[in-house]
Amino acid sequence: MKNDADSLGLDSKAISALPIINKFIQRIELKELLSKHILSKENQKLSHADAILLFVRNILIEREPLYKLSEWAARFDPHLVGLADTKPSVLNDDRVGRSLDALFDADRASLLTNIVLKVIEEFDIELSQLHNDSTSVTVYGEYRQSSSKRKGKVSLALLKGFNKDHRQDLKQLLFTLTVSRDGAVPINYKGYDGNTTDDKTHIQTWEALRRITGISDFIYVADSKLCTREQMTYIAKEGGRFISVLPETRKECEWFKTWFRSHNVNWQELLRRPDNRRPESREHVYWGYESPMASDEGYRILWISSSQKQEQDAQKRQQKIEKTIKALDTLKGKVGTWKWKTKKQIEKAVEDIFKKNQSERWFDWKMVVKEVETYKQKGKGRPGNNTEYVKTVKEKWTFEAMPNGMKIQENADTDGLFPLITNMDGEVLSMKDVLEKYKFQPYIEKRRQQFKSVFEAAPVFLKLPHRIEALMFVYFIVLLLNALMERELRLAMRKEKISSLPLYPEKRKCKYPTTARIIDLFSNLRRHILFQGTEMVKCFYDPISELQEKILDLLIISKDHYTC
């Protein structure tokens, strides 16, 4: 007689943090918005909207290559990844590729605006202060055709430019991102051709933000590439307000540093902040001084002196000097060999060392020629007492280089200084207010870091440039959901007066939880269904911990997704 146990089967599928991710997808009606702008065929097994959202879930949970999406999706509850009754086998790389084609064809500008407006409405995002930054997205491959054309629409051009990954040998595109001061939530993004420089993007970005926010007087914070006469004048004339760092190359910087060395500056203490990384160390202190000379365009220049930056500047200078000395010593030992023999060869080698380490301003150096006498026997035969010799004098080039103590000290006098420029006068915004608003800028750099390292947006391996352009939209959605989950949890903690959660290994406390920590916490949860033949006997779930339950409560997400 056959044992009934032989017909038992167990279907186990991962749940992970999918219910949390899906809750946020539903709150901003992402599937509906994608379906409205990206039309699918009637007989299509998996809609473009579902394929794109599945890819979004994949990137958030554990980035897999397109060709592995089918394997990845098969591990999860199909309803949670958006497959329903569709088999994961439909998810070959070409399936997602065709969805990227459809996304490229769509009116992505309108789609982006509709998504962001829904986010602002649903989560009540405050938009009075917006921060912008850019990064390069490196692509691997020759890409003989730098752009592609599809249905009359030309994609961004993959070209070589200033590569922020220090891969000047590879092609790229430029990706700019703008986030809110409120939770660093992405509000806008824009892709540009790979050879576009940052100082050409801000007017277009600012105009897009004005359309989204419906106002002109938000505070626009960006890096030093904003500081061109054209861009700052445009924003100011249109009623906008900005804060940026004045580039070191501007003559106003050189003037102030010269003036600073011969005048007593009445610094005003603005901020004191504890060093969170080294609690035992002293506080970081910031002082401010308004330059007596405005910029060429007539805007305020505020000089900030930072104790933290002062230490960092000194350390960086010392490291550069030490590396330069070591490289020069190595070169000195090679002078005279075939590659470093002529004056021109040696000069270029020395200049390359200074350029690489950005250290020439701290050194005195010069080329030195030495006369080397050699004697050669005149005529042939064995030399004797009466043998005549011919003297030959050859020039041998070398160099001498030494650090200049006075130049180093002169540079050290301005350690810790950096200039901010703004078109808001002191009655509107004090020096302290300007500094505090600018100091949020590192948070967008955190989003940029997540974009590249956590979600592995670069390097890109897709073959078609227009698919790469569409992929950047997918990553914007990923960054948006990532920021919203992080923001909502932190706001809930603040409301419940919870200072930290034990999210780190060994239950160490985490004051500022990230989405990555949330996803990692739920990564081990699974759903199990016991079958006897084709009939379901029982459905059960891995038990959730008190901490997991607490996270769900804070995010107002039902525990039904994790329980029977």
Q: Residue 3's pLDDT is what?
A: 53
In angstroms, the CA 353 to CA 351 distance is 5
In angstroms, the CA 155 to CA 152 distance is 10
Residue 67 vs residues 55, 88, 102: alpha-carbon distances, Å: 11, 12, 19
For 391, the token pair is 């003297």
In angstroms, the CA 69 to CA 54 distance is 9
Q: Are 546 and 40 in contact (CB under 8 A)?
A: no
Q: What is the pLDDT along the chain (564 residues), one digit of tens a residue?
A: 445 556 888 888 899 999 999 999 999 999 999 999 998 887 788 899 999 999 999 999 987 777 778 888 888 888 898 887 788 878 777 888 899 999 999 999 999 999 999 999 999 999 999 999 999 888 887 787 888 888 888 898 888 888 877 788 888 999 999 999 999 999 999 999 988 988 889 999 999 999 999 999 999 999 999 999 999 999 999 999 999 999 999 999 999 998 988 888 899 999 998 876 665 567 889 999 999 999 999 999 999 999 999 999 999 999 999 999 999 999 999 998 888 989 999 999 999 999 999 999 999 999 998 877 777 877 787 887 878 877 777 888 999 999 999 999 999 999 999 999 999 998 999 999 999 999 999 888 888 888 877 777 667 777 888 998 999 999 999 999 999 999 999 999 999 999 999 999 888 999 999 999 999 999 999 988 888 888 888 888 899 999 999 999 999 998 888 876
Q: Residue 2's pLDDT is what?
A: 47
Instruction: Please report which helix (H) or strand (E) contains residue 135, including its range.
Output: strand 129-139
In angstroms, the CA 118 to CA 124 distance is 10
Q: Quick one: three-class SS letters along 226-274? A: HCCHHHHHHHHHCCCEEEEECCCCCHHHHHHHHHHHCCCCCCEEEEEEC
For 529, the token pair is 């269904």
For 348, the token pair is 């270029």
In angstroms, the CA 487 to CA 489 distance is 6
Tracing tokens 């390292």 back to the chain, one arrives at 453
Burial of 473 (0-12, 13-18, 19+ CB in 10 A): buried
List CB contacts of 254: < 8 A, sequence separation 6 or more.
none
Q: Residue 449's pLDDT is what?
A: 81
Taken in order 65, 69, 72, 76, the sign of the CA dihedral is positive
∠ Cα 63 547 446 (to 5°): 40
**Residue ranges of domains in the chain, CATH in brackets:** 126-311+415-462 (3.90.350.10), 324-412 (no CATH)
In angstroms, the CA 68 to CA 302 distance is 52
Q: Residue 279's pLDDT is what?
A: 57
Q: Residue 278's pLDDT is what?
A: 62
Q: Residue 298's pLDDT is what?
A: 94
| DSSP output for 150-207 | ETTEEPPP-B----TTS-TTSEEEEEEEEEETTTT-EEEEEEE-TT--GGGTHHHHHH
